[in-house]
Amino acid sequence: MPAISQRPVALVSGSATGIGAACAKRFAASGFNVAVNYNRNEEGARTTAEDCRSEGAETLCLQGDISEDGDCRRMISDISKRWGRLDALINNAGTTRFVDADDLDGITREDFDRIFAVNVTGCFQLTRAAAGLLKAAMNGAVVNISSHSGFSGIGSSIAYAASKGALNTLTLSLARSLAPKVRVNAVCPGFVDTQWLSGKFDEKELAIFRDNVQRIAPLHSVVSPHDVADAVAWFATSARGITGQLLVIDGGTHLTVGDPL
Give counts: helices (H), strands (E), the chain. 9, 7
Closest Cα partner for 243 from 143, 105, 148, 156? Answer: 143
Q: Is the dihedral of CA 119, 102, 194, 151 positive or negative?
A: negative
Q: Which helix (H) or strand (E) holds 9?
A: strand 9-12
Q: Is the dihedral of CA 148, 145, 118, 198 positive or negative?
A: positive
Q: What is the DSSP string of 74-99?
A: HHHHHHHHHHS---EEEE--------
Tell me the catalytic residues. 160
